[in-house]
């Protein structure tokens, strides 16, 4: 299998619920559970899932636009996770991703990109098999941008 189709990380307990995750050449990240389990010294795994979804969606939108030679400028996202008890256990019940594009009026291919970028997001499409993910893309004024159908 090529390097693009397989990846590996390692992690080790430091203390309590604090883990050091080794991303190899990319360095380490510390994760922790919030109180009362941990001390909140880093993001917990649920936040890492949210970050992965948001980052992948932003990268997918950038790729779709740049492939058409559009330069979107600043693209950002806020991901809100909703935790619920399911069968007595905490689960991520939903992720809501609010994305923002800096200059939508300068992007002639934006409607087409909005119509397909989610399909190419590896993380979001994988996560959606178990967690609903809602995505909204807005301009700087907060207006939702429509996708081409």
Total domain count, the chain: 2
The per-residue pLDDT for 149 is 60
The per-residue pLDDT for 2 is 52
Residues 28 and 67 in one domain: no
CA distance 85 to 33: 17
Residue 7's alpha-carbon distances to 3, 10, 52, 147, in angstroms, are: 7, 10, 15, 33
Residues 122 and 62 in one domain: yes
Pairing of strands 133-138, 10-15: unpaired
**Domain enclosing residue 2, as ranges:** 1-43
Residues 81 and 51 in one domain: yes
Residues 93 and 30 in one domain: no
36-79 pLDDT, tens digit per residue, is 999 999 999 999 999 999 999 999 999 999 999 999 999 999 99
pLDDT band at 1 (very low <50, low <70, confident <90, very high): very low
Mean pLDDT estimate for the chain: 93
Residues 37 and 49 in one domain: no
128-137 pLDDT, tens digit per residue, is 998 989 999 9
Given a contact cutoff of 8 angstroms between Cβ atoms, the answer to whether 131 and 108 are in contact is no
Residues 61 and 88 in one domain: yes
Residues 114 and 55 in one domain: yes
Residues 39 and 56 in one domain: no
Q: Does residue 144 sit within a domain? A: no
């Amino acid at each position: 299998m090529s390097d693009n189709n397989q990846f590996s990380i390692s992690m080790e307990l430091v203390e309590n619920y604090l883990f050091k995750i080794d991303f190899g050449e990319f360095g380490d990240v510390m994760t922790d559970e919030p109180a009362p389990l941990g001390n909140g010294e880093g993001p917990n795994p649920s936040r890492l899932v949210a970050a992965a979804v948001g980052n992948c969606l932003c990268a997918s939108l950038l790729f779709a636009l740049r492939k058409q030679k559009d330069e979107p400028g600043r693209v950002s996202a806020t991901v809100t996770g909703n935790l619920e008890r399911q069968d007595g256990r905490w689960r991520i019940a939903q992720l809501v991703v609010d994305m923002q594009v800096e200059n939508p009026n300068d992007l002639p291919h934006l409607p087409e990109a909005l119509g397909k970028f989610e399909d190419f997001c590896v993380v979001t499409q994988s996560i959606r098999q178990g967690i609903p993910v809602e995505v909204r893309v807005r301009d700087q004024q907060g207006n939702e941008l429509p996708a081409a159908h």
